[in-house]
Structure 1
Amino acid sequence: MNAHVRSSATLNLRTHSLIAFVLQPVEPLVDWFETLDGWLARSPNFFANKPIVLDLSVLDIALKDYRDLLRDLARRHIRVMGVEGASPTLVGPHLPPSVTGGVEIKPEPAPAQTEPVSQQPAEQEPADPQPAKATPPNTGCSQTLIIDAPVRSGQTISNLAGDITIIGRVASGAEVIAGGSVHVYGAVQGRIFAGVSGIQDARIFCAEARAELFCVGGAYVTAESMDPKAEGKSVEVRLVESELAIRILN
């Protein structure tokens, strides 16, 4: 008689880190949702299929209102995977679990520049016809994602821990989301988000500007509000005193 011995199943355990977006609702929630809806109108798929954590540290909210908040977020296709800073009354069955120990992504301090960098919006011509010499920005990002292909409509390319370089165009309806800077060696017709990890000196460079939206560090400009002079040109987009400045490169 031959005995068949079944090997025991192996339980594989491993750790896995994810980069999540953290939303911090503030009172009044009506105004906060109005701002959120404005953002989603410009980029409806920004939060789709992404880990979302709610920071409730500055929000004093009752359980019923908290359930309503989660329901209203779900209606906008924002699924909350966990909460930070929540009181014990807001953690329980059928509610997102409390999460701790997350590490906020922040840039390293940039070295001091020996020469000031000219910060001039696109609509003004530089006074000096010679290009200014400036130290390249230090975004504090050590990871660069290189995409050696065009980004098609409906695609989202994300690298919250560093820069993104696209060798090709970014089609209408596509999104590129970077913690640092974004470099596109082609036309941009979709939406570009740079500095989403709090890097204030992040920049966007593209060879042909026809974007639906440019955003750096939360400040944004849409196709409707963009300077017509920059359309189709090679541009640099950066923050200047909390507002976007678009500089035509050629």
Structure 2
Amino acid sequence: MSHSPIDFKGSNFTFLVLYLYDSDHAIIRKAIQKKVDNAPTFLRHAPIIVNVSMLSSKVNWNHIQHAILETGLSIVGVSGCRDEKLKQVIMNSGLAILNEGAIDNSYSNIYISKSIPDQIKGKSKTRLISSPVRSGQQIYAKNTDLVIINSVSEGAELIADGNIHVYGSMRGRALAGVDGDESCQIFCTHLLAELLSIAGQYWMMEQIPSNCLGKTSRLYLESGVLTLQNLI
């Protein structure tokens, strides 16, 4: 029996979502480059989705696209496009128009521009994980908090619309409040994270204060600024 040389399968990936609130390509490029320079290991050559919900067909999409690519980012597709003329221009540039609903179910949005959050969704029962979270694993708690009663390895990723609690060694990535809720927090009993993020504001490991590494800590936003507190 012959076998097909290809196959289509569903999968789940994490992408950064770049929200554009300005139509000036020079301003966009400068802002992105600053982000990339501040966190090169996280952003350099990163695949992203561009949200254009705040833009109209009057913008020069080709200039914007070129400005983004000049920073080294790779555009996977475009979301949030409501303008039919702009949608056609984007498709003509060779990019896919992504359905917002599909993105919410299949991807984790990380806001690398200051976001304008939608109405916060009601939270459901906490998601509790008692087994170790291995490198390469991704756990997402949709519309709720995430509690890990074990260790999280380097290369693992925790994502939650709500708070994140890790009662064990935290060496991977933790992203809380990914739906834009700035009141969310991250709690770790042994903090050694590769990346910490709340509502799109993020720190790489090298940005975490040395006096908090390996300690029981609480991360939260205070007046829009990431703040880390030792709990013991």
Structure 1: distance between partners of 2:78 and 2:217: 38
| One-letter identity of the residue aligned with 1:154 | G
| One-letter identity of the residue aligned with 1:62 | N
Bigger mean CA deviation after superposition, 187-196 or 75-84: 75-84
| One-letter identity of the residue aligned with 2:212 | A
Structure 2: distance between partners of 1:219 and 1:100: 22
Could you list the runs of 5+ residues in structure 1 that have no partner in the other structure? 1-18, 109-139
Tell which has more relative contact order, 1 or 2 (C-alpha 8 A, sep 6+): 2
Q: Please, which of 111, 114, 120 is the counterpart of residue 107 of structure 1? A: 120
- Using a 3 Å threshold, how does the CA distance of structure 1 residues 90 and 180 change in structure 2: closer, same or farther? same
Q: Which residue number corresponds to residue 23 of structure 1?
A: 18
Structure 1: distance between partners of 2:191 and 2:98: 42
Q: Give the deviation of 1:216 after TM superposition.
A: 1.5
TM-score of the superposed pair, with normalisation by structure 2: 0.67
The question of whether the paired residues in 2 share the 8 Å contact of 1:53 and 1:84 is answered with no
Structure 1 residue 62 and structure 2 residue 28: aligned? no
- Using a 3 Å threshold, how does the CA distance of structure 1 residues 69 and 179 change in structure 2: closer, same or farther? farther
Q: Please, which of 78, 85, 88 is the counterpart of residue 88 of structure 1? A: 85
The Cα RMSD (Å) is: 3.6
- Using a 3 Å threshold, how does the CA distance of structure 1 residues 144 and 78 change in structure 2: closer, same or farther? farther
| One-letter identity of the residue aligned with 1:218 | G
Structure 1 residue 79 and structure 2 residue 76: aligned? yes
How many correspondences in the alignment?
A: 199
Q: Percent of aligned positions with the same letter in both sequences?
A: 26
Find the structure with the greater CA-based Rg: 1
Q: Which residue number corresponds to residue 200 of structure 1?
A: 182
Structure 2: distance between partners of 1:20 and 1:173: 15
- Using a 3 Å threshold, how does the CA distance of structure 1 residues 167 and 179 change in structure 2: closer, same or farther? same
Q: Which residue number corresponds to residue 211 of structure 2?
A: 229
- 1:32-61 CA distance string (max 9 Å, x none): 33145357634359x76x9x4622423642
Structure with the bigger percentage of helix: 2
TM-score of the superposed pair, with normalisation by structure 1: 0.63
The question of whether the paired residues in 1 share the 8 Å contact of 2:29 and 2:68 is answered with no
Q: Please, which of 159, 172, 177 is the counterpart of residue 141 of structure 2? A: 159
- Using a 3 Å threshold, how does the CA distance of structure 1 residues 147 and 40 change in structure 2: closer, same or farther? farther
